[in-house]
Amino acid sequence: MKQFILDLMWSGDGEILLYLRVAHGNEVHSARFGTLLADFHKQWPINALFVADATLYTEDNLQMIVSFRWVSRLPATLTAAK
* The predicted structure's pLDDT at residue 81: 60
Question: What is the Cα–Cα distance from 38 to 41, expressed in whole angstroms?
Answer: 5
| Assigned domain for 81 exists | no
CA–CA distance, 58 with 13 (Å, rounded to integer): 27
The answer to whether residue 35 sits within a structural domain is: yes
In a domain, 82, yes or no: no
The reported pTM is 0.73
- The structural domain count of the chain equals 1
Of the candidates 73, 81, 22, which has an alpha carbon nearest to the alpha carbon of residue 52? Answer: 73
Mean pLDDT of 37-63: 89
Helix, strand, coil in percent for the chain, rounding step 5: 35, 30, 40
pLDDT of residue 7: 87
* Structural domain of 71: 4-75
Q: Is residue 23 part of a domain?
A: yes
What is the pLDDT averaged over residues 40-50?
88
In a domain, 8, yes or no: yes
